[in-house]
Structure 1
Amino acid sequence: MIISPPFLPAVGVSSNDAFSTDPLMDAVDKYEQDHGIYPVALDRRRHTGIHLKSDILDQRVHAIADGEVVAYRVCEFAIDGGDSKADSNAGFVLLKHTTETGEGRALTFYSLYMHLLDLDSYPIDVTKQQLPEFLRTKSPGGNRDELLPPPAQAGNGLMKVQRKDVLGLRGACQGWRHLHFEIFMTKKDFDEYFGPTQLGKEQVVTPATSDYWGHSYFVIPEDTQFFPLPPDADANGKLGDIAFEKLQVDKNKATLYVEAWFHKGQKYTKVWRDEGNGQLRLLTMAQPGTDKSGQPLERLQAQAEKDYEYTLYDRAMALYKTCPSDGYELLRFGRILSKSDKLPEGERATWMRVTFDDDKQGYVDINNAKIKKLSDADFPFFKGWQKLDEANGPFDADGLCDIDALKALMCNAKERYMPEALARTESGKKAEALARYVRTTKGVREQLRGFICEAPSEWDSSNNEQRFGKLKAPGEHFEGDEKGYGNLLKRVESLQFWDETGLTPGEKLWFFHPLAFIRHFRKCGWRSLPELAQMLPRKSSVEAGGLIEWGTAVDRWQDGETSKLGFMPPNMYLAMNRMWPKYGFTDPQRQAHFLAQIFKETGALRSTVEYGGDNYFRTKYEVLTEQEAGAAFDSLKAKKKAVKYSREDYIKMRIAQARQKAEELENTQPGDGARFRGRGLIHLTGRGNYRKYGRFRKSDFTTDPKCELISTDAFVAADSAGYFWVSKWMVSKDIGASRGGRNISRRADLGVEDDNVHAISVPVNGINPNGPVARKQFFRYANFILGDLPSMPADRDLVRQTDDSQQEQKK
């Protein structure tokens, strides 16, 4: 899923913060306002969204993901927010988003953008042409004299938007400038997606499926043995030529919860100890200063292992000789996710460096069956996820929060000083207590982000009497004031729109803290078929892909292609989603760099096999005769091409080049040139490279017809490209966009400029890579689709790929 927040501030989009895994979300988190806390407003009522206010006056509001319009309202003027003043905006858009995980599981959710600015108030210098067509014309109805908005309009699924489309500008509610923003799911959609996860389960288990994404988590039971070195290490602390630093030996005194992740080549680990009574204590809490690699510890609060990810291939080859591919997954995930694992059980020890007590670290074998292994796909409870329904939530039947119940949910019963309440009602006293608790108790707002709450929508009028009826009770605001209460309901109902959504009135929904939801799913890395189809531009330079219709883009990812230009196996989109997490393509920048290279290598996904006849491959990768070299020279001269060699010297040079190429590729037998032609998404070429990949996978790809699997099997074609990427050794000084060492991600992590694309193209295609313009164009486009830049880079040859059914709405 590709998802982003509704605001795209430049400070987050272009950040070079090496220590932040998601600088855009860090920036948008600062926009959350105190007067719109999730999931409880400070008057104790449910508040199933948040209020966002950016520091940019005319900040655009963007769609967070591709979706269809469920309902909307476009206002011409501001409305009465309750004080007989035109101080509020009632414009909104409700979107439905449907994607899938790459494992065949659907995820359907809704996003709501409320209080969008009315058209009359748009600044002169802000063009409405950025809006989709349906948002440029005011909705019919409304009452300017009474300052009441027009009724909402149904989308009926006929209008679609793409992620980052502008939906409007943020408006105001009762004079407060902000966007009210929600994300929710219906009960059916929620159960379908979250049923297989471990949300709400305190007795977690290692999943039996390969549905893994995001960070890894390990639950280590108490009394687990930690070692100063892996038991089989030699006297120098080496195991399979991999050096291990000597640590401490002991057993942990309580359950440990370990979080591990990779970022820009580094491996980071956080550890919490279970202190009982629902309290977890962070053991990796760092003191001010820097670690050995110069990273600020007070920011990370995690132990860092420099360049660990970049060297995973070397570790896997040294530690898991029987099947390094399986070992590679053990080192990355803590378990083998491949469906055809080949590494014997007795060879799966995976020694991980873990803090197990104050100032104590040791090595533990996380392959131990007693250690539970999870990921962000499981929504583990110890990361703060809590599923709150009516039975275990802090709200009563009126939708009012009970502060004591909220404290209990947070395992925080500490009493706080509360002066005599200034409010005149009992309800006001409780609201004051709640406000003080949320604002002054450290960590409460952060913990509230993990609450996933079942509740009715405030935009559903069928819930009004339940929500507001108590206001007529003795001592409350509308006691004996039926007219005032009626005016309140009139204003509330003028904003509500549930009748136009097609959703069931009165049905309870599951709500998420919107920014927590977005931040979490931005780690998923999987892309749905429609999202991958968007990666191929509708139009690009002829050297890149030329004209690619939507249906063609979908077919190339899903059905493959067989033509005179080559062969592309079916189900490549599934293979890509399986390959990406294994080889660390988990962020948009790496994915965009990878796609730019494979699009050029495969002719925009038209062939996973190098095109040419047997004689072509013989002369290119095997042997060249004197007659053939001479004919080549004569052809150049006939075309009046400049050749700086004599005919005799040219023949010698070309024969020597062919011989050298054959030696480099280890093509030793007649026919090897054609047999081991370039195959896969990044064309693996030559007997030697087929043999090395086979050793990695514990499979022989040098025999017919198995060598053809690298091009005919989508999963092998994708996996071989990931293998090529992480195993590639680059000889280079660490200057500018170039980096030396193993793993092309060393260069992909450096930046998004043309120099970065060229630096990556060299290890993929050679010192003078072919199609340099196409590779750069493919990258700029893929980086826009995957990344958070609000506008596509200027390029007259580029046109964004769009589902044909959306064309009418994109005029």
Structure 2
Amino acid sequence: MLISPPFLPAPTAGESDEAYLNRAMLCGEPGDGFFPISFDLNWHGGTHLKAPLLAGKVLPVRAIADGKLAYFRQPTPVDTADDAPLNYGGWTDNGCIVLRHETEIGEGESSKVVFYSIYMHLSKISLVNPKVDMRVYRKDIIGESGKIYGVPNKIHFEIIADDAQIPHLFGRTERELMYQTKAGRTDSCWGDMHFYLPPEVIGYSQPAANWTDQNSAGDCLARPPEDLFVRMHYEKGQCVLSTYTLEGKCIGEHKESEGFEYDLFEIAGSRYPACPSAGYEMLRFGRVLGPDSLTPANAAHWRQVALPTGVAWFNLNASTVTCFSDADFPHWLGWKLIDDDTDEDSHCQSPYLRALLKLDEDPLFPPSRSIVEISKSPDFKHAPAKPEEDHVYSKSFRIKKHNQEIIQKEESRKQLEKCVFKFPSEWGRENFDTRYGWLLSDSELGPAMPKIDYNQLKEHQKAMAFWEDAGLKDIKAKHWHFPPKEFIHVFRKCGWLSGEELTQLLPTSALRIKDSNLVSEGVTLSAVAQQNIGDLKRPLNKALQKFLVANSTLRMAAFFGNATQETQWLGKMHENNSSAKYFPWDGRGLLQLTWPGNYVKYWKFRGRKVPSPLVSALTAAHKSADNTGSNSHLADSQLTPKGLTAEMIRWRDDVEKKPVDATNSAGAYWAWTQAAKLADKSPVMERVVKESGGKQFVYYSCEVFGQVAATVNFGSPVHDVTKINKVNGIIARNQAYTNALVVLTEQMNFPDASGKISELPDPFKARRQ
């Protein structure tokens, strides 16, 4: 799933994703569009967002993910009459769009997900000829923000899903993870890894002498004083292990050696020599998810963990340690499912939430007493009709102030920001009295609302309601509401690409040399490419997760900028060039392996045995073929007497024919060449204009990507950057990279002919189905 915020301010180099989202999603404060409740304890299913400015202009509203238009309503023309329903408390725009998103966050049926995004209070709908079920793509401009109670440039933004989607999206239906008895899901595993450390696990002064051994000979330094949790985070070469309590308090942090992530291929080989591929998964996921096996099966995973008493070595693969990922939404990081408000009204009666915020702690209003009982109590007195701030002796005022103070506390907001709640939609028209009738009775917040005010509110709400009109399929009026910013933040770590998203990574045209001139040719989505996308999707996504490519959109763009070009737009998994000097060890797979040394390196990574005499023979044959330009030295008939077996020839062919090998060989090559180190650098796009054959051609180049391309094509980056131009198909690779940046990232800076910066390259045509 690829997902973005509904506003896209210009990116800042080196900015964290959290910081970017904080700029992009200026969320409502308590009392002003806060999720999930207001001061009067009314459920609020989304959050109010203030549209950011760019160069003094208000940013448009965009689709957060690919989807279909499920419902739209053009905004009502502004009517400033006092009795206009939408002028209640100041003009409120009621333009609305609802998108239905159906995508994937992992493998198999259990990871296919459906959710809806709601964009309310639009002053304009920007979609051309909108129709229900029309395709809408991530980052498409869908509208303009409007007014909420007279305040301009705001929208109400909401993300919702039905009961059936919760186990798919969240991985569970229980409020919290059963972390002591079972590990997390494996069908969807992405982002950071998390480990439960029970008190009986021992921390040592050093790891085992043999990294795979379960017990260390070192001194026992510590045991966890309570249930603790370790988060393992990889980013830009670094690996950080942070230690948390069950309440989510971070009590320690340990950083692995500099460049640990970039060196992961070598580290896996040294710690798990019998099968480095399985060891790599242990270091990445904390468990083995692929087809390769650990040797021994219970091999240890030694890591240094910070405790309040100091750092100690723990085996994170011990029998009582359980492992999770961000896809499990760990509750010690705040993620909880809350469904304990059993009535159908809009008034929050969730015992869990009320206890969380200590809303019932006022001794005059113990939770055992009903609202009606409280209102009839002889000590319940309403202050005279004065401005509310003067009601200092009014219980209603005091309780409301209590609620405000609690909800406004940073600690309370932190506890709420990752909770997912089930309650009725506020956008229904027909059940208004069911949801809001409680306002006509004395409540914990004061006396009943006058009937005339209630009727005005009812008309105002009816003017904004749409639920019955929308007729949304596969979701009921009472459904799950996700914290919008946190939902987007966590799923931006997912990186699992659907078939449609993979298809978009193919550019619509590409430049190549023909008869010494540049020509532009259309890139068609061939039947073979479609078949390959279907066959490769699952193992490719797993490989992107395993080799930490999916952790970064810049890494993915650099990966696909090479892979789509190398495979002739996903049309060929085998170069099959019998005249090449390295044939039959010619290019196979997604990042096409060439020369026998790369095949052997991949085989050994997978735990396959290759005799030393054969390696020597292959090395000598490689040298001879390179010197003479003849592939006769590499012929299978020349090598079979020296140890090349039919099984090895099948292994070589598997890189073409088996999707798991086609994708894992590409990931392994990416890892051992440390291409990520180059891809992590901030790209600067340069507009290139070339005259050829009396025509002018425009494309974009990037030195950072050029070095990744050199690493893929040559095996290492180049010292002389002018040699990047010698990379095979470098112009087409640049075009594929440019297209991938547009598909995968938020916004890049592309200079146009006048030097003005644009979010899209010139020219550009997106691939649409």
Using structure 1 for the length normalisation, give the TM-score.
0.75
Distance across 1 between alignment mates of 2:520 and 2:200: 59
Distance across 2 between alignment mates of 1:68 and 1:589: 27
1:109 aligns with 2:115: yes
Aligned letter for 1:61? Answer: V
Q: 1:688 aligns with which of 579, 597, 616?
A: 597
- Once the 2 structures are TM-superposed, how far is the Cα of residue 681 of structure 1 from its aligned partner? 1.2
- Once the 2 structures are TM-superposed, how far is the Cα of residue 486 of structure 1 from its aligned partner? 2.5
Tell me, yes or no, if the aligned pair for 2:48 and 2:155 is still in contact at 8 Å: yes
1:725 aligns with 2:670: yes
Q: 1:312 aligns with which of 244, 249, 264?
A: 264
Counterpart in the other structure of 2:753: none
Aligned letter for 1:445? Answer: R
Distance across 2 between alignment mates of 1:709 and 1:230: 37
Distance across 1 between alignment mates of 2:441 and 2:354: 27
Aligned letter for 2:429? Answer: S
Tell me, yes or no, if the aligned pair for 2:85 and 2:463 is still in contact at 8 Å: no
Distance across 2 between alignment mates of 1:387 and 1:480: 32
Counterpart in the other structure of 2:629: none
Within 5 Å, give how 1:414-433 maps onto structure 2: 422=389, 429-433=398-402
Aligned letter for 2:301? Answer: T
Q: 2:740 aligns with which of 782, 785, 804?
A: 782
Q: 2:493 aligns with which of 520, 523, 531?
A: 523
Could you list the per-position Cα deviations for residues 69-88 of structure 1 after superposition, in whole angstroms to 9, with x for gaps in the alignment? 11111125225466567622
1:38 aligns with 2:38: no
- Once the 2 structures are TM-superposed, how far is the Cα of residue 689 of structure 1 from its aligned partner? 1.8
Gaps of at least 5 residues in structure 1 are: 120-130, 136-154, 234-238, 285-300, 561-568, 622-672, 729-742, 804-811
Within 5 Å, give how 1:88-107 maps onto structure 2: 88-104=92-108, 105-107=111-113
Within 5 Å, give how 1:116-515 maps onto structure 2: 116-118=122-124, 131-134=126-129, 155-157=131-133, 159-177=134-152, 178-194=154-170, 196=172, 200-204=176-180, 205-207=182-184, 209-232=186-209, 249-274=221-246, 279-284=247-252, 303=255, 305-346=257-298, 348-356=299-307, 358-389=308-339, 391=340, 393=341, 398-401=345-348, 406-409=353-356, 422=389, 429-439=398-408, 441-473=409-441, 481-503=450-472, 507-515=477-485
Distance across 1 between alignment mates of 2:483 and 2:727: 47
Aligned letter for 2:573? Answer: T
1:799 aligns with 2:765: yes
**Cα pair distance change 1:102/1:315, threshold 3 Å:** same
Tell me, yes or no, if the aligned pair for 1:247 and 1:363 is still in contact at 8 Å: no
Tell me, yes or no, if the aligned pair for 1:558 and 1:572 is still in contact at 8 Å: no
Tell me, yes or no, if the aligned pair for 1:540 and 1:799 is still in contact at 8 Å: no
1:595 aligns with 2:560: yes
Counterpart in the other structure of 2:694: none
Q: Secondary structure at the match of 1:71?
A: strand
Distance across 1 between alignment mates of 2:355 and 2:285: 35
Counterpart in the other structure of 1:288: none
Gaps of at least 5 residues in structure 2 are: 366-382, 514-518, 611-643, 685-701, 715-722, 749-757
Q: 2:49 aligns with which of 52, 59, 80?
A: 52
Could you list the per-position Cα deviations for residues 608-630 of structure 1 after superposition, in whole angstroms to 9, with x for gaps in the alignment? 111322xx13xx23xxxxxxxxx
Could you list the per-position Cα deviations for residues 574-604 of structure 1 after superposition, in whole angstroms to 9, with x for gaps in the alignment? 2211100110112211000000011121111
Distance across 2 between alignment mates of 1:109 and 1:684: 40
Q: Secondary structure at the match of 2:548?
A: coil
Counterpart in the other structure of 2:72: 72
Distance across 2 between alignment mates of 1:404 and 1:320: 50
- Once the 2 structures are TM-superposed, how far is the Cα of residue 477 of structure 1 from its aligned partner? 8.8
Tell me, yes or no, if the aligned pair for 1:226 and 1:251 is still in contact at 8 Å: yes
Tell me, yes or no, if the aligned pair for 2:203 and 2:223 is still in contact at 8 Å: yes
Distance across 2 between alignment mates of 1:181 and 1:83: 21
**Cα pair distance change 1:557/1:579, threshold 3 Å:** farther
**Cα pair distance change 1:197/1:369, threshold 3 Å:** farther
Counterpart in the other structure of 1:714: 659
1:704 aligns with 2:652: no
Distance across 1 between alignment mates of 2:199 and 2:508: 56
- Once the 2 structures are TM-superposed, how far is the Cα of residue 472 of structure 1 from its aligned partner? 2.2
Q: Secondary structure at the match of 2:521?
A: coil
Could you list the per-position Cα deviations for residues 616-656 of structure 1 after superposition, in whole angstroms to 9, with x for gaps in the alignment? 13xx23xxxxxxxxxxxxxxxxxxxxxxxxxxxxxxxxxxx
**Cα pair distance change 1:208/1:66, threshold 3 Å:** closer
Tell me, yes or no, if the aligned pair for 2:338 and 2:352 is still in contact at 8 Å: no
Distance across 2 between alignment mates of 1:521 and 1:714: 26
Tell me, yes or no, if the aligned pair for 2:102 and 2:115 is still in contact at 8 Å: yes
Aligned letter for 1:60? Answer: P
- Once the 2 structures are TM-superposed, how far is the Cα of residue 773 of structure 1 from its aligned partner? 1.3
Could you list the per-position Cα deviations for residues 17-60 of structure 1 after superposition, in whole angstroms to 9, with x for gaps in the alignment? 3xx35442232354444411110012210001001113415121
Q: Secondary structure at the match of 1:75?
A: coil
Counterpart in the other structure of 2:14: 16
Greater Cα offset, 467-476 or 690-699: 467-476
Q: Secondary structure at the match of 1:115?
A: strand
- Once the 2 structures are TM-superposed, how far is the Cα of residue 752 of structure 1 from its aligned partner? 2.0
Tell me, yes or no, if the aligned pair for 2:254 and 2:306 is still in contact at 8 Å: no
Counterpart in the other structure of 2:680: 749
Distance across 2 between alignment mates of 1:583 and 1:413: 49
Q: 1:678 aligns with which of 564, 577, 587?
A: 587
Tell me, yes or no, if the aligned pair for 2:91 and 2:147 is still in contact at 8 Å: yes
**Cα pair distance change 1:687/1:83, threshold 3 Å:** closer
What is the percent sequence identity of the aligned residues? 28
- Once the 2 structures are TM-superposed, how far is the Cα of residue 224 of structure 1 from its aligned partner? 1.4
Distance across 1 between alignment mates of 2:711 and 2:555: 15
Q: Secondary structure at the match of 2:571?
A: coil
Counterpart in the other structure of 1:608: 573
Tell me, yes or no, if the aligned pair for 1:709 and 1:717 is still in contact at 8 Å: yes
Q: Secondary structure at the match of 2:430?
A: helix
**Cα pair distance change 1:700/1:605, threshold 3 Å:** farther
Aligned CA RMSD, in angstroms, stands at 3.1
- Once the 2 structures are TM-superposed, how far is the Cα of residue 705 of structure 1 from its aligned partner? 2.4
Tell me, yes or no, if the aligned pair for 1:21 and 1:263 is still in contact at 8 Å: no
Aligned letter for 1:112? Answer: I
Aligned letter for 1:37? Answer: F
Counterpart in the other structure of 1:536: 506
- Once the 2 structures are TM-superposed, how far is the Cα of residue 192 of structure 1 from its aligned partner? 4.7
Aligned letter for 1:43? Answer: D
Counterpart in the other structure of 2:693: none
Distance across 1 between alignment mates of 2:226 and 2:361: 24
Distance across 2 between alignment mates of 1:559 and 1:759: 31
Could you list the per-position Cα deviations for residues 756-807 of structure 1 after superposition, in whole angstroms to 9, with x for gaps in the alignment? 01111111112531122111111111011000018653232x311001xxxx
Aligned letter for 1:364? Answer: F
Q: Secondary structure at the match of 2:389?
A: coil
Using structure 2 for the length normalisation, give the TM-score.
0.78
- Once the 2 structures are TM-superposed, how far is the Cα of residue 422 of structure 1 from its aligned partner? 3.4
**Cα pair distance change 1:85/1:366, threshold 3 Å:** closer
Distance across 2 between alignment mates of 1:225 and 1:470: 55
